[in-house]
């Protein structure tokens, strides 16, 4: 195919939807409120990414620890005319993750993309972090992503994509939570190795690295540390879950077909010009 025909094919694909025909599993597709009053609950990254990919034609398997939250995300996709299913999973448990991938493949008829969007904070300071707390944080923030990558490489069709969700806390100090910083930093190494393993089937693995994002988790962090954003917003605002969803969409789509083993930092310049 010459360059002109390639361009025509790409334009046709974009008209049909940037994710048309792609089957995606989102682990962490539900909406956590962290006890915030309803009027203060903003959109979370997992739900936003699920909705964004669905609007571009993806069929989405929505998985969450809480089935009702996954069902809510799936119902919003269905209400907009998309296709979605809901599943429950404990992302830290290997048998639960194996069952999820088997069920998603059975329902969707295969997989083209996997997004792992689960995580938690942790205790402040090394002196306040027990070994048990460290292990709990790593179980969700690193082990779950390891399992996601391992199973994705087993189930994804050729030319598939994996996206992991990290944090700018993996790049610079500041969260005051050593287990959180360290577990998020581990995703870069996992990404590079998984990309290395997936390369022969052109399965791409990348990491989205959010900065200060106005999600429910972000609001709780700011409530607990009011100075968290002071003087740290180069563009004059926090990011939104849609900013992260757009990054995920790009990395999942064929537009990022030559992007592999990379960190996509979405922080408004926080880590480069602050």
The residues annotated as belonging to the active site are 180
Within 10 angstroms of residue 148's Cβ, the number of other Cβ atoms is 28
Distances (CA, A) of 63 to 67, 70, 100, 165, 171: 7, 6, 8, 15, 28
Give me 149's structure tokens: 């990558």
The residues that bridge with 164 in the sheet, in sequence order, are 116, 207
Give Dmax over CA atoms of the chain in angstroms: 61
Q: Is residue 60 within 8 Å of 83, Cβ to Cβ?
A: yes
Per-residue tokens: 116? 């792992």
How many whole angstroms separate alpha carbon 117 and alpha carbon 26? 7
SS3 sequence, 231-268? Answer: CCCCCCCCECHHHHHHHHHHHHCHHHCCCCCCEEEECC
What is the Cα–Cα distance from 216 to 214, expressed in whole angstroms? Answer: 7
Of how many residues is the chain composed? 274
- Between the two ends of the chain, the Cα-to-Cα distance in Å is 46
Q: How far apart are CA 176 and CA 164, in angstroms?
A: 22
Least Cα distance to 141 among 190, 100, 175 occurs for 190
- Distance (Å) of CA 30 to CA 74, 87, 141, 198: 9, 10, 16, 28
């Amino acid at each position: 195919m010459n360059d002109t025909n390639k361009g025509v094919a790409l334009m046709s694909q974009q008209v049909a939807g940037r994710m048309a025909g792609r089957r995606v599993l989102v682990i962490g597709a539900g909406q956590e409120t962290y006890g915030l009053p309803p009027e203060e609950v903003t959109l979370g990254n997992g739900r936003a990414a699920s909705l964004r990919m669905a609007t571009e034609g993806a069929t989405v398997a929505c998985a969450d620890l809480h089935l009702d939250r996954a069902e809510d995300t799936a119902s919003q996709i269905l209400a907009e005319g998309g296709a979605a299913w809901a599943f429950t999973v404990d992302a830290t448990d290997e048998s639960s993750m194996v069952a999820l991938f088997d069920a998603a493949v059975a329902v969707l008829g295969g997989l083209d993309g996997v997004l792992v969007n689960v995580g938690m904070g942790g205790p402040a300071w090394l002196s306040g972090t027990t070994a048990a707390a460290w292990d709990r944080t790593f179980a969700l923030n690193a082990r779950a992503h390891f399992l996601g990558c391992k199973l994705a490489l087993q189930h994804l069709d050729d030319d598939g994509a994996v996206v992991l969700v990290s944090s700018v806390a993996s790049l610079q100090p500041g969260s005051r939570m050593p287990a959180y910083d360290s577990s998020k930093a581990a995703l870069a190494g996992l990404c590079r190795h998984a990309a290395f393993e997936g390369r022969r089937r052109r399965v791409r693995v990348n990491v989205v690295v959010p900065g200060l994002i106005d999600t429910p988790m972000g609001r709780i962090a700011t409530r607990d540390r009011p100075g968290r954003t002071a003087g740290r917003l180069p563009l004059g605002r926090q990011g939104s879950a849609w900013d992260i969803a757009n990054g995920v969409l790009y990395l999942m789509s064929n537009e990022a077909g030559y992007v592999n083993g990379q960190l996509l930092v979405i922080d408004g310049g926080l880590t480069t010009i602050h």
